[in-house]
Structure 1
Amino acid sequence: MTLSFLPFPLAQLVRFGVLQARACAFAVCMFTGFALSAVVPLPIPRYDALLVYAVALTALFWALRLESGREIAAIAGFHVVGLAFELFKVQMGSWSYPEQAWTVVWGVPLYSGFMYAAVGSYIVRAWRLLDLELENYRSWAVTAVAVAIYANFLTHHWLPDLRVALAVLLIAVTWRTRVYFTVGAQRLRMPLALSFLLIGVFLWVAENIATLFDAWRYPHQAQVWALVHPAKLGAWALLVTVSFVLVALWKGSDVRDRGGAPQVSR
């Protein structure tokens, strides 16, 4: 992208924003669907229409080569994992879906899995578009913490909530880990844990928009919409860790590591 008329730092910021927008394409389309379905008359229940829309959107991304068949399969895995998570959390009263629909299982509309697929799509596309590369990535340690994080999201309903301790542990196991990425002709890097936090902030903002459109509701939003509690920002940052690890495991030997971690170099 030629932006020679701009100061270099500003040009790089614009390039980075464009890359992020491309990586978020599926998520942006999903949020567009949320917004339009809230105001456009539909011949079927809204959540059912969103399911049809999400399936069609996935097919369109594949047909336009925006995502490969292998990437679509990986993102489908996020859909399944996310739907299982939704089934559990809705039954526990963590949030709810206020509208009626046909494609609902135990109070969870099937379109909801595509919200997790959107996160998976973002990570998969960002990895490719920004040419991500890891330094000193301790695969087994980070994976173990990610498993513990996912388990804690389920068990904290009965057992002590360990998310603060797990966040500290995550910082410890990624203390020397850096993620390299390319913007324009420049190779940049940042701490991996910081990237999780920044994505968590983005997802928290997106969650506020989604609940505003009644994509789902938290208990404190049952009567009138209110801001999602800032504590959810940390929860999203931790959940992103799980998504990142799933993508890293899926990529396998395609993951490049500049350090001595047990990943295969390319």
Structure 2
Amino acid sequence: MTGNEAPQGTPGRAHAEAHGTGGGAPGAELSTRLNWLRAGVLGANDGIISTAGLVVGVAGSTTSRAAILAAGVAGLLAGSLSMAAGEYVSVSSQRDSERAALAMERRELAEEPEAELQELTDLLAARGLSRDVAREAAEQLTERDALRAHARVELGIDPDALANPWHAALASLVAFTVGALLPLLAITLPGASARVPVTVVSVLAALTLCGTVSARLGGAPVPRAVLRNVTGGALAMAVTYAVGTWLGTATG
């Protein structure tokens, strides 16, 4: 191909980019699993923050358990379905791009096999192999499975593990729902006077856990990630509660 860019996905939504000739190696599979796990944590994090902001805002304007529960359930359903639909569209587009790239590579291999062999040699040499070793490796990979070799080395795609939009959509829906259930239960189970404090404490504790897990999976500093996560969640709840209280007073 004329360019060496792999189709782009999102962290946790896309396949792991292959490194070297072993796109299906254990290291790549581990990277893929970590990406999915990180995406699940982030999806749960979104469910926590968005639902907490919604129910705390409603609790600021009314003490009706039914109204708060209805708003929370509506937010959970809308958020989880929106996440699932968005993930399905995103991953479907990624998969279409991967298939188009593989189809183009297949045509080029059929029409210009020598040029493609030279391109594979250049790619392997660019990764640190000597020209002779790169040429020998390229020839062996081409004899074994030329399309697979170019897909993994040139495109960063494993032809046997294309992203599945249905799996991605289901994972997003479940992750968001799990996260949203915490603030929904925390706001509806306690008495009226304890609802907001219990929800705030529960949500901040959950966000601390999510921030810690996300940081460890990504190899980032834990304190900074936790502080950022907790601050964002606290700010969202403070703003929605203030607005909800004002609306309750203004319309009451």
More helix by share: 2
TM-score by length of 1: 0.29
More strand by share: 1
Relative CO higher for 1 or 2, CA cutoff 8 Å, sep ≥ 6? 2
TM-score by length of 2: 0.30
Structure of larger gyration radius: 2
